[in-house]
Amino acid sequence: MDKKVLSETLQKVREVNPLVHNITNVVVTNFTANGLLALGASPVMAYAAEEVKEMAQLASSLVLNIGTLNPQTVESMILAGKAANEKETPVLFDPVGAGATQYRTETARKIMNEVKVSIVRGNAAEIANVVGENWKIKGVDAGEANGDVVNLAIKAAQKLNCVVVITGKDDVITDGTTTYLVSNGHPLLTKVTGAGCLLTSVIAAFAGVEKDLLRASTAALTFYGIAAEKAAKKTAEQGSGSFQIELLNQLAMVTPEELIQLAVYKKLQGA
Ligand code: ATP
Ligand code: TZP
Ligand code: MG
Ligand code: MG
């Protein structure tokens, strides 16, 4: 996959302005909507069982995020997911905190069983717990990475039959056969709550305009990482609050040309 392809995918997002339907958590709702708007996508949050099928079928992609789950929303997620599946609309799943409590772990597995998910994105511990491996997790943040994340991602993609994205210092993207590693990003992203959740929705925007999900994910991850690098540079010597606001600015300002210049990623051979 060459850099030109990634830049064209970013351009396409901004041309198409895809509608991204998010059923997400109460912590990150506003940040997610503003991040998608900055990127050039169109966010909508809709949760009621009475309307989610309709909304999911209007959208270019659907995000299911269990960050502050409750039984009512979980029911809506499954209804929305099935409606999206009928239209072959990509469904993105963020299993926030899977492994932290039994309810989260069971719900994550239930969603994966009942909905055909296109891309699941989480930290290593969350993905491990979705596929039944018991990694340490503290709340919604990743525990110590105590294993081979690339192999975990490949195994998970094969088991779940979808694209798996595991984020951290480096990000792994795999469909179980072909694997990419993205190195863009900045440690300040770990100091902004919702940086991971917004990323899942940003990948959804890209998947809403690009059917090749490895391409969509690689474009989204390099783009997001570059926006963070530029934001950190611009707000050097300031705190994470300034970084958070500048990240939104940079989601609007990173150009397709900058994606070509600054993307750092590789295809893993034999992975
Ligand atoms: P966690 O709950 O473990 O913080 P998350 O859901 O918030 O996970 P992250 O894994 O933090 O998601 O990923 C969000 C973004 O932050 C990704 O773009 C990732 O590449 C980036 N990122 C995370 N940690 C680092 C780091 N140490 N250095 C650079 N970029 C990072
Ligand atoms: N608690 C429940 S959801 C949430 C918190 C703090 C936000 C998690 O966001 P992210 O993107 O995983 O850091
Ligand atoms: Mg985080
Ligand atoms: Mg997260």
CA distance 229 to 216: 20
Mind listing the pLDDT tens digit for each residue in 216-235? 999 999 999 999 999 999 99
Is the CB of 112 within 6 Å of ligand 1? no
The pLDDT, as a whole number, for residue 138 is: 46
Residue 122 alpha carbon to ligand 3 centre in Å? 10
Mind listing the pLDDT tens digit for each residue in 135-161? 655 455 554 443 489 999 999 999 999
The pLDDT, as a whole number, for residue 157 is: 98
Q: pTM higher than 0.90, yes or no?
A: yes
φ/ψ of 55, rounded to 5, equals -65, -45
Residues 136 and 100 sit within 8 Å (Cβ to Cβ)? no
The pLDDT, as a whole number, for residue 189 is: 98
Atom of ligand 2 nearest to the CA of 192: 13
Cα 168 to chain centroid, rounded: 12
Residue 268 alpha carbon to ligand 3 centre in Å? 25
Ligand nearest to the backbone CA of 68: 2
Residue 193 alpha carbon to ligand 3 centre in Å? 6
For tokens 């809506």, what's the residue?
76
Atom of ligand 1 nearest to the CA of 224: 18
Ligand 2 pocket by Cβ (under 6 Å): 25, 27-28, 67-68, 96, 140, 193-197
The pLDDT, as a whole number, for residue 1 is: 87
For the chain, residues with pLDDT lower than 70 are 134-147, 270-271
Q: Of 140, 165, 202, which is best to mutate to test ligand 2, by the most ligand atoms within 8 angstroms of its C-beta?
A: 140
Residue 178 alpha carbon to ligand 4 centre in Å? 24
* Residue minimizing CA distance to atom 8 of ligand 2: 194
The pLDDT, as a whole number, for residue 145 is: 40
The pLDDT, as a whole number, for residue 141 is: 52
Tokens standing for 163? Answer: 């694209």
Percent of the chain at pLDDT > 90 equals 92
Atom of ligand 1 nearest to the CA of 121: 6
CB-proximal residues (5 Å) to ion ligand 3 = 196
Is the CB of 138 within 6 Å of ligand 1? no
For residue 63, how many other CB atoms are within 10 A of its CB? 31
Average pLDDT, the chain: 94
Mind listing the pLDDT tens digit for each residue in 156-177? 999 999 999 999 999 999 999 9
H helices of 59-148, where? 71-86, 102-114, 124-130
Residue 5, exposed/middle/buried by CB under 10 A (0-12, 13-18, 19+)? middle
The pLDDT, as a whole number, for residue 133 is: 79
Which of 67, 46, 7 is CA-nearest to residue 223? Answer: 7
CA distances from 2 to 88, 96, 170, 202, 260 (A): 27, 31, 19, 20, 9
